[in-house]
Amino acid sequence: MKDMRSQVYIWERSLAILPDTIFLDIVRNFIGKVPTPFHKPLLTKKLTTLFSTDEFLARVEASLSPTDRQLLSGAYVLGSPTQDELCSIFSDSISYATLQQSVVNLEERLLLVPNPDTFEHSAGLMINPLVVDRLLASSLSLEDIFVPSSDVDTPHYRFLGGDPRIVRALLSLHIHTMLGSREKSEKALTTKHIQNVFGQDDTPFIERVLLYNRMLFGEKVLIEQGRSTRIDINRAQLVLSKDPQELQLLLFQTAFASMQPQTPKIAKDLPFRAFFTILSTLLDTVPVHHHKGLKTACLMASYRSRLPIADMEEFLALLSTVGLAPMQKPKGNHTNQTHLQPTIDSDLTISFTEDVPVIENKDLLHCLAFVRKVDVVTSYEVNKATIMRAFDLGLTVEEILEYLEGLTQSIPQGLQNLIGHWKDEFSSIVIYDGILVKANERLSRIIEALPTLQPFLISRIADGMYLFSRSSEAQWREILSATGIGLLPRSITDAAHHSTSSIESSTVHTDMEMLRPIQEPIRLLAVRRPGKDNPTALEFQKELKKAILAKASNKGEQEEMLARLERKLILVPSQISAVQGRTQTMQASGFDFQGKINLCKAAVNSTVELLELHILDNDGNSQILLTEAKELINSTKDASIRVLVLPDGEEKVLPIEKIFKVRKLRRSIFFQM
């Protein structure tokens, strides 16, 4: 919530950007006749005063219909939606034509006003800053958007959360069984043997495991090198340290990138993170039980985050793969039960529930043990091969023992000396990756005598034969050159072959604070708070109608004012005055063929008007289309009109004689399209 001064400031900016004609039209409705020339700031002030009056605001609240509340609640979550966005999130339950006109009505009632920050580029709307707090306190709620189930046990959609146990298991499988390249590992992960590890063989779960695998490649934890795969242990630790929500997000990004491979970059951008945050906040805040509700939530998250969704059904399937599913509240009295802390048995099986803790900043289980089962209890096995592999990865006996002791508190007697024996065996042969340098006697003397070269010298193999480090070739070549050797033979190293082992910073920002502002409105809207004891709309409308009938000087004025009353444009007696110009909706129907043609003609290529066409479909059912008129074909008896049907923009050519009613409607009070 913002303070009153800043709200007035935003409100004034919002009105200031309106063209004078539109501003005048609006002002007339609220404060009656306006003499010209007019003083815009003064008029704005008058409006501000009106919208700050308690009686007026109470009537604003009372006049809200369920659709109004739905749209305003939606607008509050979306922040700055366009008219089209606002309509489309509810178009599954209410006709688009009704929604569009409801939005226009909220615009003319100044409950939705242009957002001055987005006015130029996206025609965004926002709730009138002068009423937003009041509405929020009593009238707006997510329950208007997502109808809650009366049964609290009904499963509702939630993200499972990323599962570090699966990540660790995959790392262990890659390290100890060499799942191989991305392609090979994808095949291997669908085999029965591997599925037994995870205890599940249902397709969505397997797809999720494959997604985790892809994520590890995508995050460069696993790096393909020809047919094999190298593991970046530091990056692995980074991924494992993420909380379940962050992990879920990573998985989501991976899935999204694979769904839209042509735009992989978008997956790394803030909109993506915003989308995920909004969706998960929505689902955490209000129980969404149905597919329809989930779709609405996705659309809202999409519009709010500016992350486009090309195909909603495909996208929902992707969410399901990622781990979004209807879940029931856990039942029973199992919540107080202690988790099984990691223990290591004499058969060298490590068992635990949950995931393993980090021991002195080290997370090494997958490096030194092979995953046997990931289930309620997860188990890993230590054996000679796994420890050898750990040595291969550069772990020392001390590190391994320290880690295991920290993890399990006590390790079996035999394991300590077994690891020692395995280390002896592992060390019985050492394979160096180096470059053999053969030098003549003179140069040999230099090599052996030069202290700066010694750190790069792995071993003196024989007289005049030296093994130098490959990774520091550039440095020792420079030192050798500096001794005056002159032209050294060309390097045999393919520099590209050796990637550096430095850890790049994660491409994913973990700063959830950035997204707090967009989570706020959702949480504020969680439930409707009881409102003040306001008058009912019916009571004051009756009184206003009486006053209109008494005040109108002619039938035209009376009709015009009653129409405004009907559209909730008149809320207090001070608004009862005739305004210049027609404000009623123009329509033609039945045998008024020419009237229909005239309305169509007037709307063709209009930037401010739409046509509502009532037609009969092939089955004889009445159908209402909201359209943009594009072309009137002929103006004779067989005239047709070419239109784009909203919201999808489908082009249709309709014979006028098939249209039994035409209404010319305002597209928007504030915007021209």
Task: Give residues in contact with another protein (CB under 8 A).
Answer: 196, 199-200, 330-332, 334, 336-338, 340-341, 343-349, 351, 353, 373, 375-377, 383-384, 412-414, 417-418, 421, 425, 428
- Residues 132 and 2: their CA atoms lie apart, in Å, by 10
Nearer to another protein, 406 or 464 (CB): 406
Selection from 223, 239, 234 nearest residue 185 by Cα: 223
- Residues 244 and 254: their CA atoms lie apart, in Å, by 15
- Residues 639 and 616: their CA atoms lie apart, in Å, by 17
Nearer to another protein, 191 or 337 (CB): 337
Nearer to another protein, 41 or 199 (CB): 199
Nearer to another protein, 376 or 495 (CB): 376
Q: Which helix (H) or strand (E) holds 448?
A: helix 441-449
Nearer to another protein, 198 or 671 (CB): 198
Provide, rounded to whole angstroms, the least separation between the CB of residue 338 and another protein.
5
Is the separation of the CB atoms in 393 and 175 below 8 Å? yes
Q: Which helix (H) or strand (E) holds 61?
A: helix 54-62
Nearer to another protein, 262 or 428 (CB): 428
Nearer to another protein, 428 or 618 (CB): 428
Provide, rounded to whole angstroms, the least separation between the CB of residue 204 and another protein.
14
Nearer to another protein, 161 or 264 (CB): 161
Provide, rounded to whole angstroms, the least separation between the CB of residue 411 and another protein.
11
Provide, rounded to whole angstroms, the least separation between the CB of residue 160 and another protein.
14
Nearer to another protein, 425 or 566 (CB): 425
Instruction: Calculate Rg over the CA atoms of the chain.
Output: 35
Provide, rounded to whole angstroms, the least separation between the CB of residue 331 and another protein.
7
Provide, rounded to whole angstroms, the least separation between the CB of residue 380 and another protein.
12
Provide, rounded to whole angstroms, the least separation between the CB of residue 158 and another protein.
16
Provide, rounded to whole angstroms, the least separation between the CB of residue 166 and another protein.
14
Largest Cα–Cα separation, the chain: 120
How many C-beta atoms lie closer than 10 Å to residue 193's C-beta?
9
Provide, rounded to whole angstroms, the least separation between the CB of residue 512 and another protein.
30
- Residues 325 and 202: their CA atoms lie apart, in Å, by 14
Provide, rounded to whole angstroms, the least separation between the CB of residue 289 and another protein.
19
Nearer to another protein, 200 or 472 (CB): 200
Nearer to another protein, 255 or 344 (CB): 344
Nearer to another protein, 338 or 605 (CB): 338
Provide, rounded to whole angstroms, the least separation between the CB of residue 360 and another protein.
21
How many C-beta atoms lie closer than 10 Å to residue 144's C-beta?
21
Selection from 28, 31, 76, 71 nearest residue 51 by Cα: 31
Provide, rounded to whole angstroms, the least separation between the CB of residue 175 and another protein.
20
- Residues 111 and 62: their CA atoms lie apart, in Å, by 13
- Residues 311 and 667: their CA atoms lie apart, in Å, by 27
Please list the helix, strand and coil fractions of the chain in percent, rounded to the nearest 5, in that order: 50, 15, 35
- Residues 81 and 305: their CA atoms lie apart, in Å, by 11
**What does the block give as tokens for 435?**
């470059």
Provide, rounded to whole angstroms, the least separation between the CB of residue 418 and another protein.
5
Strand-pairing partners, residue 661, are 589, 614
Question: Concatenated DSSP letters for 523-589?
Answer: HHTSSPPP---PPPHHHHHHHHHHHHHHH-SSHHHHHHHHHHHHTT---SGGG-S--SS--SPEEEE
**What does the block give as tokens for 377?**
């209890």
Provide, rounded to whole angstroms, the least separation between the CB of residue 203 and another protein.
14
Strands (E), 261-420: 324-327, 343-344, 349-352, 370-373, 378-381
Provide, rounded to whole angstroms, the least separation between the CB of residue 425 and another protein.
6
Nearer to another protein, 328 or 510 (CB): 328
How many C-beta atoms lie closer than 10 Å to residue 72's C-beta?
23
Nearer to another protein, 338 or 621 (CB): 338
Is the separation of the CB atoms in 320 and 204 below 8 Å? yes
654 three-class SS: strand
Selection from 171, 165, 206, 167 nearest residue 374 by Cα: 165
Nearer to another protein, 19 or 420 (CB): 420
Nearer to another protein, 338 or 618 (CB): 338
Selection from 331, 327, 330, 357 nearest residue 342 by Cα: 357
- Residues 79 and 81: their CA atoms lie apart, in Å, by 6
Go through 577-600 and write b for each residue having 16 or more CB atoms within 10 A of its CB, e for each that does not: bbbeeebeeebbeeeeeeebbbbb
Provide, rounded to whole angstroms, the least separation between the CB of residue 371 and another protein.
14
Find tokens 């046509």 and name the residue: 611
298 phi and psi angles, rounded to 5 deg: -65, -45
